[in-house]
Amino acid sequence: MVDQGSGAEIMYPNLYNGLGLKPEDLTAYDSPLVSFDGKVVIPKGQIRLPIQAGSEVVEVNFIVVDAYSPYTAIVARSWLHALGAVSSTLHLKVKYPSGDRIEELVGSQFVARQCLIAAITHQPRVEPSTSAKRSL
């Protein structure tokens, strides 16, 4: 997901684990974040990784969080600025200069819709309270 309003690149567990990264690959990052649902999330740490967009490669500092998201990662203003990119959420496109031409990344309306539905219908796991446990 490209979030033009965010100043932080975020990586979620599915991508972190899928890349075969380990806890020792992280550096400390101890500033709490606020998730889309308004809850405070304590990051697991930070990691610097290259992101390839077409023929361009940009190094990005990802903050790794252990929280639910239908996305695998969120890239934000710093990635857009490093790439010299312009994004359009309406058109699900990112355009950026590469040499003497303009390259384009195109998102999928279908996948965007699936992520929106997953985010809306996600029911967080709720632990029963102590009094509810006693009555069971």
pLDDT digits (tens, 9 = 90+) for 60-97: 899 999 877 777 787 888 888 888 888 887 788 888 88
For the chain, the C-alpha Rg in angstroms (whole number) is: 18
Give me the count of residues in the chain: 136
Domain ranges of the chain: 9-135
From the options 2.40.70, 2.40.50, 1.10.1760, 2.60.120, give the CATH code of 9-135. Answer: 2.40.70
**Residue pair 43/30 in contact by the 8 Å Cβ criterion:** yes
Check whether 36 has a pLDDT greater than 60. yes
Distance CA 1, CA 6 (A): 11
Closest CA to 60 of 46, 71, 70: 46
